[in-house]
Structure 1
Amino acid sequence: MSKPNVLFLVVDSLRYDVATGNWESATPTIDRLLDEGVHFQNCFAQGISTAPSMTAILTGRHPLDYGGHWYLDDDQRTFAQVFRDGGYYTGAIHSNPYVSARRNFDRGFDHFAEDVVAFEPDEGLEGLPDKLLRLASRASRILSRTPYTPAEEVNTDILSFVDDADTPWFLWTQYMDVHGPYLGGDNFSYRNKFRAEWLWRKAAVRDPDSITEAEHEELRENYRREVEYLDSEIGNLLGELDERGHLDDTFVVLTADHGDEFYEHGRYGHGNLPYDELTHVPLVIRPPSGSDIPRGETVDDLVRCIDILPTIIDAVDAEIPTQHRERLAGKSLLPLVRGKKRDEEPVVVTEKRVRGEKHLRIGLRTTRWKYLYDGVEDERFLYNLENDPGETTDVSQTETTVAEEFETRLRERLNQIEETSENVVVPDVETDAGVEERLKALGYK
């Protein structure tokens, strides 16, 4: 059997419970993938926003190791480098500023197509003052009907990439349609766009407590419709790949970088502590025809997004340098798929450095317990997930032994971050006017 292709689909902000139909969402494409692949029911992300989560996914390590997640350190090998070294034609197509070439996420890609600014000044405008460039970028964003590249256009670019490949290919895309502001599917009218941006900013940035019940339901409904629209577009992509004769030779991996919160813990979007609505993400791996990986399997064990890279490397029998393998925090999930039991359940680490600050937010999760550390307020919370899956009652004062065990793990993790990042120099990455406008459109402060 020749080397299989790998189609790595990451859906920005896709909650697990919506993807699996618990919001009464119609997702026939995802349902089909679940039937034809391996469904990991309890997969949890290592970040609650794009930068830390994608750093973890693309490198197989925790986000804050080796210099942090705002910039991919040169010594950290990625998915793309492993596959390119293995003879694959590698590509990335996305419109998320947090995984841009400026942040070193383009390493290892033969083809790196990013649409991350609303306005790219040409040579005749480079000398203009920053204020004028920002105004030009803002005008360009206003004229655009979406704050990101819609899935339909992304799919066109994916198919062009596939058509150009003359060797087995690895392609990663980051669909942005489910990310706020929620446009409610394919309604790309200006009126709908401005309404969606206003409501998203009110909920996720300015004043979540002022959201009315009707606005809350509008946000949820538009989010659900975004998921259904994207499901349809992924179905169109897979159909086109099938017609071109590629689907039977391709691993299809579908996951998310994080979820979104709908006031479960007093906020909207994904700027809160690592509660499950932000960290529980879908993960399904559909193997190509002829693979010995069983189809239609469900894995209940606790798994992590850092396990995806070593799993796919294992599945395609790719080589990985010794230094990279030693630094991998993730483990291949194929033994679980084949029925082998673990000696010990992993502790899921989710972490983030607060933007513009030195404070950390860290979550430690097992099947039964969740321990949260908020470095901004210097607070800690412990939840018994068996009795309290909604994470509403802090039991750190009554379950003191458990809390102390997690505090020990937290200190160990903080020490590891400091140790691995020693002598690692991460450059300051300036954000230009165009990127700032794109981030504002996506609801970031």
Structure 2
Amino acid sequence: AAADGTAPVELGREALAAGAAPRAVAIDLAPLAGRVIRLDLDAAGGGVALSGAGVFRDPQPGEPAALARIGQAKAKNAILVMIDTLRADHVPPYGPTRVQAPVLGLIAERGTLFERFSAVEDWTKPSCATMLTGLYPNTHKAQTDDVRLPASVRMVSEELKAAGWTTAAFIANGYVSDKFGFNRGWDQYTNFIRESKPTRAENVFGRALEWIEQHKDRPFYAYIHTIDPHVPYAPPEEFLKLYDDKPYDGPIVPSKTHLQVEEIKKRTMQVTDRDKERLVALYDGEISYHDGHLGSFLKRLDELGLLEETLVVVTSDHGEEFWDHDSVGHGHSIFQELVHVPFLLMWKGVIPTGRRVADNHDHTVIVPTIFEALGLPPPDYCEGRSVLPRALGREEIGPHAGFSTHQGDRMAVWSGRHKFQLSGAVRGALFDLEQDPHCRTDRDDERPITVRYMRALLGSFMGAPDKRFWRHPDLRRANVGEVAAERAQSDPELDRQLEALGYLRP
């Protein structure tokens, strides 16, 4: 066995007498668990050759979906809380940060946190489409600004409504709207941007709570999409002062940050270190403001007795850059500041408390996880697998990886401590996230074995005609088929609303 930076090690040797019958040789690989290694099989001697390839076997095999259901309760409801623009390293459960977000910390303590979770894209529409369909962006095709979610793609709301659940969506982002095909399958659908309603977290959570209290006696699925801490960064003054209480007379204006971030990105607005400090403080203040209203929402659910019968999923669509790679905002790269997002599961009395899962996953796991918690088989076309078994402490067999893309022209795979990014057909970069969490140093030339492994993972994924089977053969499930992209119709009013979020330039 060989690994980057170490001399090859012999794991086993078997001597055979001339003319002896072939026999299997078993090698225990447990001491190498968690490492990227190259295995070399060699035969030496006159007239001797290897008669077969290696076979890898788990010592305790099991069917994960079946194991997960042993002794498992069935949730009555599911709630997906999607916090727009929340990067993982500004969330206390994910490591040292100045940001005060005790509720997110409490969710991690009372549920399961997934440490290595990837957004499938670096902006809202494709990531949310994946969360609401279980399909990768290259499959559902809602990747660029001018297309909508195709009518041929089934949404989780449509599937659950057909199965007898009451469904509701409370959305504060204009990209997850009727124009782009997201208004299907909901008994209650509110897009606060489209309806010109206040988009603050208190308003979104408040309206969602009203609906839940009215429908709590029936099984329900609720998608709650809050917009804080997206631009404009304009937290109440008390939350800004948590991170910047010094006098400031610079050009950064909270109500104009949706415009200023784009100007900074395009180098048409120059900023000082003090201006940068102010901008990050505004973002962090938004996180703390949002956290309080998330807490009020969960407290009321607990008072209603709903947390015992509801799977609560908390995640984000993408992060936000603050000069990590010489830019700001989002929608322009697949570095960690934009695609490493929080992912937490909470289900009182069922999901173990305080568990941290180090496996790599991405947004495609959300739909099958919700279905499994509700006691339903996931739709056959889902391209991810439920992570409920991992939250319950069961091991998962097979390679662990999360995939991210930027509108299909850049790809990244994150597996274990390494991340590999591919730009174009050939050019790649390898990062060791334990030594280099901000992806400053390319290790591509230093670690050829790891690069080969990461390229194999990415190649298996990109080359798979059916993304469900890139790592787990299950040919009984039906293929979603080729999806054709659909153009979105022009809508000047929505364009104006998206301009207010900094997506489009006036």
TM-score range, shorter chain: 0.7 to 0.9
Kindly provide the amino acid, as one letter, of the partner of residue 385 in structure 1: L
Task: Report the TM-score when normalising by structure 2.
Answer: 0.72
In 2, the alpha carbon distance for the partners of 1:36 and 1:2 equals: 18
RMSD: 2.9
- Write the distance in 1 (CA, Å) between the matches of 2:269 and 2:161: 48
Q: Does 1:89 align with 2:169?
A: no
Q: Of 105, 108, 117, which residue of structure 2 is paired with 1:34?
A: 108
Distance 2:199 2:305 in 1: 26
**Contact 2:119–2:317 (CA under 8 A) maintained in structure 1:** yes
* Counterpart mapping for 1:402-417 below 5 A: 402-407=450-455, 409-416=457-464
* Number of the residue aligned with 1:433: 492
Letter in 1 for 2:413: L
Write out per-residue CA displacement over residues 374-421 of structure 1, whole angstroms, 9 at most, x where no aligned residue: 34x984322233432221122334444544554455455444479999
Instruction: Decide which of 414, 425, 432 is 1:365's aligned counterpart.
Output: 414
Partner of 1:201: 262
Aligned residue number for residue 156 of structure 1: 206
- Report the CA distance shift for 1:414/1:209 in structure 2 as closer, same or farther (over 3 A): farther
User: Which residue identity lines up with residue 393 of structure 1 in the other structure?
Assistant: T
Match for 1:315: what amino acid?
A: A
Cα distance change, pair 302–2 in 1 and its aligned pair in 2 (3 A): closer
TM-score (norm 1): 0.81
Match of 1:4 among 57, 70, 76: 76
1:180 to 231, 234, 244: 231
SS class of match (2:419): strand
Alignment partner, residue 228 of structure 1:
288
1:297 maps to 355
Once residues 412 and 111 of structure 2 are traced to their aligned partners in structure 1, the CA distance between those partners, rounded to angstroms, is: 29
CA distance in 2, matches of 1:63, 1:294: 31
Which has the larger share of helix?
Answer: 1
Structure 2 partner of 1:343: 397
What residue identity is the alignment partner of 2:393? G
How far apart are the structure 2 equivalents of 1:216 and 1:118? 33
Tell me what 2:343 maps to.
283
CA distance in 2, matches of 1:268, 1:417: 35
C-alpha distance 401-103 of structure 1, shift in aligned 2 (>3 A): same
**Alpha carbons 1:40, 1:283 under 8 Å: kept:** yes
Q: Distance in 1 between matches of 2:99 and 2:376?
A: 37
Match of 1:131 in 2: none
14, 19, 24: which is aligned to 2:86? 14
Separation in structure 2 between the aligned mates of residue 338 and residue 244 of structure 1, nearest angstrom: 25
1:396 is aligned to 2:470: no
1:86-165, aligned counterparts within 5 Å? Answer: 86-117=163-194, 149-165=199-215
Counterpart code for 1:212: T
Deviation at 1:43, TM superposition (A): 1.6
2:38 maps to none
| Matched residue type, 1:434 | E
Shift of 1:307: 1.3
Q: Could you tell me how far apart the structure 1 residues matched to 2:175 and 2:259 are?
A: 22
Say if 2:125 is the partner of 1:77.
no
Could you tell me which of 103, 120, 124 is aligned with 1:46? 120
Corresponding letter in the other structure for 1:286:
M
Structure 1: give runs of 5+ residues left out of the alignment.
Answer: 120-143, 354-358
SS of 1:99's equivalent in the other structure is coil
CA distance in structure 1 between the aligned counterparts of 2:122 and 2:285, rounded to whole angstroms: 22
How many pairs are equivalent? 403
Shift of 1:305: 2.1
Indicate the residue corresponding to 2:431 in structure 1: 383
Output one character per residue of 1:42-101: Cα deviation in whole Å (capped at 9) or x when no partner: 222111111121122222221111434343233333322232233211000112122112
Aligned equivalent of 1:309, options 351, 367, 371: 367
SS at match of 1:281: coil
5 Å-filtered alignment, 1:260-279, equals: 260-279=320-339
1:227 CA drift (Å): 0.4
2:75–2:373: 8 Å Cα contact kept in structure 1? Answer: no
- 1:213 Cα shift? 0.5
> By how many angstroms is 1:217 displaced?
0.6
Which amino acid in the other structure matches residue 427 of structure 1? E
| 1:216 maps onto 2:276 in alignment | yes
Q: Rg: which structure is higher? A: 2
Structure 1 residues 401 and 40: alpha-carbon distance in aligned structure 2, compared to 1, 3 A threshold:
closer
User: Is 1:63 paired with 2:122?
Assistant: no
Give me the whole-angstrom Cα distance separating, in 1, the residues matched to 2:223 and 2:213: 15
- CA offset digits 1:296-333 (Å, max 9, x no partner): 3222222222112212211221244xxx32x2221111
Offset of residue 171 of structure 1: 0.4
Instruction: Return the alpha-carbon distance in structure 2 between the equivalents of residues 13 and 413 of structure 1.
Output: 26
Cα distance in 2 for partners of 1:423, 1:285 equals: 32
Per chain length, whose mean CA-contact separation is higher, i.e. which structure has more relative contact order (CA < 8 Å, sep 6+)? 1
The one-letter code matched in structure 2 to 1:104 is G
Cα 1:170–1:378 change in 2 (3 A) is: same
Q: Which residue of 2 aligns with 1:334?
A: 388
Residue 231 of structure 1: how far off its partner (Å): 0.3
Q: Percent of aligned pairs with the same residue? A: 27
Counterpart of 2:25? Answer: none
Whole-angstrom CA distance in 2 between matches of 1:11 and 1:67:
23
Do the aligned partners of residues 230 and 273 (structure 1) sit closer, same or farther apart at CA in structure 2, a change above 3 Å counting? same
| Equivalent pair of 2:357/2:390 in contact (CA under 8 Å) | yes
CA distance 1:263–1:418, shift in 2 (3 Å):
farther
Measure, in 2, the Cα distance between the counterparts of 1:208 and 1:336: 47
Structure-2 separation of matches of 1:222 and 1:288: 33
